[in-house]
């Protein structure tokens, strides 16, 4: 009897080791750029983050980013009405304007809306990858990242092949959703995608029958080319044109009431990035220029519409020391002459994947 128990325990031990190794392999393969401004695996990062790739997005069957992010731990999603209404995300109890949102590396927080990002206009048709970094990241990303960072990429990954896809969907509430995407993965990598969503929406008012509709047209363009063995030039452009209806909220009741109110929005996000690899790829330099341009016009039936516009221009330079090893004899000889310098180099020699943001300007 004791031999049977011992063999069973040993077998269970072997099985547990197998599944543990399988899980660790999956964790090791998870890499985040947002967590430290450079490629970092989950095992080597001290930051809590989640990564959703294109396959995860497809498997979720979510139509909008806010539906997708409801499944991510530590996030609270709020939307003030039907499809197209203002959508906010809070992280670990912080306010919505304390989360930095990046779209293809561009700071997308609306400067005209108190540095808050409206997640209502992001559909999953064009999203390739989402990274959610939880916890304060202000030291790396600035004051907008007080609660964390959500990074969204619409650029296809390098391992994808050239393709052309298109699709049309129709459903309840007179909803139609059409999209087309093309990508060429040659010496010059080019991708383009266009999607259009239209719905009559629903009525959230307690009285009346006026539906609150929503319309969204999104265009994404990106290109990348290896100019030389060490120099890479890339760029991306995203344009969103949306219109959403909403009801009024009278002061007397504080409840939605039928009204023919609407908000028309335009967002433009553009970026040009130049990358230089030196010393056999051990030192990488990146120079980028980016712009965020938002335009929001709200019609509430008054004589003058409310118009809010904002623009953010940024220039960034970043240097990444991926790997640097200094011979031990060289360090010993330097200690005799410049002890402080040798100590600094000794510390540097043990570091890998060190990212240094030299300059960031946002007029």
Per-residue pLDDT, 68: 93
Q: Tokens in use for 37? A: 């401004």
CA pair distance 207, 214, nearest whole angstrom: 20
Per-residue pLDDT, 195: 94
Per-residue pLDDT, 11: 65
Per-residue pLDDT, 98: 92
Q: Say how many C-beta atoms besides its own lie within 10 A of residue 6's C-beta.
A: 10
Per-residue pLDDT, 343: 42
| Helices and strands counted in the chain (H then E) | 6, 18
Q: What are phi and psi of 202, to 5 degrees?
A: -130, 170
3-state secondary structure 24-44: HHHHHHCEECCCCCCCEECCC
Across 75-174, the runs of DSSP E, i.e. the strands, are: 75-79, 87-91, 99-103, 106-107, 129-134, 148-153, 163-171
Strand partners, 148: 99, 134
Burial pattern 150-172, b for ≥16 Cβ within 10 A else e, equals bbbbbbbeeeeeeeeeeeeeeee
Q: How far from 284 is each of 97, 117, 124, 197, CA to CA, in Å?
A: 32, 31, 32, 40
Contacts of residue 349, defined as CB under 8 A and 6 or more positions apart, other chains included, come to: 324, 325, 326, 331
Per-state percent for the chain, helix, strand, coil, to nearest 5? 20, 50, 30
Per-residue pLDDT, 264: 93
With beta carbons less than 8 A apart as the criterion, state whether 93 and 78 touch. Answer: no
> What letter does residue 123 receive in the DSSP assignment?
B
CA pair distance 316, 362, nearest whole angstrom: 9
Per-residue pLDDT, 336: 54
pTM above 0.85, yes or no: no
Pick left, alpha or beta for residue 119 (phi over 0 → left; psi -120 to 50 → alpha; otherwise beta): alpha
pLDDT in tens, the chain (363 residues): 566 666 666 566 566 655 444 544 444 345 566 667 777 666 666 778 888 998 999 999 888 899 999 989 999 999 887 888 889 999 988 899 999 999 999 999 998 888 899 999 998 888 999 999 998 888 888 888 999 999 999 988 777 788 899 999 999 988 999 999 999 988 899 999 999 999 998 888 877 788 889 999 999 999 999 999 899 999 999 999 999 998 888 877 878 888 888 899 999 999 999 999 988 778 889 999 999 999 999 988 888 888 999 999 999 998 888 755 555 555 556 555 554 444 444 344 333 444 445 445 554
């Amino acid at each position: 009897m004791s031999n049977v128990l011992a063999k069973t325990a040993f077998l269970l031990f072997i099985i547990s080791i197998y599944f543990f190794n399988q899980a660790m392999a999956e964790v090791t393969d998870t890499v985040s750029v947002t967590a430290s401004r450079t490629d970092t695996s989950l095992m080597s990062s001290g930051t809590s983050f989640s990564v959703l790739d294109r396959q995860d997005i497809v498997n979720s069957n979510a139509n909008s980013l806010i539906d997708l992010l409801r499944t991510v731990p530590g996030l609270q999603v709020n939307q003030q009405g039907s499809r197209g209404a203002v959508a906010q995300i809070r992280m670990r109890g912080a306010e919505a304007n304390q989360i930095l949102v990046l779209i293809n590396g561009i700071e997308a927080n609306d400067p005209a809306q108190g540095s808050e990002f409206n997640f209502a206009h992001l559909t999953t048709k064009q999203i390739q990858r989402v990274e959610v970094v939880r916890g304060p990241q202000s030291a790396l990303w600035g004051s907008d990242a007080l609660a964390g960072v959500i990074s969204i990429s619409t650029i296809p990954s390098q391992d994808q092949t050239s393709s052309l896809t298109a699709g049309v969907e129709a459903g309840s509430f007179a909803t139609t959703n059409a999209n087309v995407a093309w990508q060429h993965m040659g010496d010059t990598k080019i991708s383009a995608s266009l999607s259009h969503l239209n719905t009559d929406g629903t009525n959230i008012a307690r009285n009346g029958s006026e539906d609150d509709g929503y319309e969204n047209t999104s265009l994404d363009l990106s290109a990348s080319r290896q100019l030389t063995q060490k120099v890479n030039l890339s760029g991306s452009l995203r344009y969103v044109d949306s219109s959403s209806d909403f009801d009024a909220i009278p002061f007397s009741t504080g409840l939605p009431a039928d009204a023919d109110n609407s908000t028309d929005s335009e967002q433009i996000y553009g970026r040009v990035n130049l990358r230089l690899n030196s010393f056999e790829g051990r030192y990488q330099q990146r120079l980028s220029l980016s712009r965020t341009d938002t335009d929001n016009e709200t019609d509430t039936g008054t004589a003058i519409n409310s118009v809010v516009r904002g623009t953010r221009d940024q220039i960034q330079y970043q240097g990444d020391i991926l790997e640097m090893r200094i011979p031990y004899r060289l360090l010993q000889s330097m200690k005799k002459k410049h002890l402080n310098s040798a100590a600094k180099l000794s510390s540097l020699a043990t570091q890998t994947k060190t990212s240094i943001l030299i300059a960031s300007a946002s007029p």
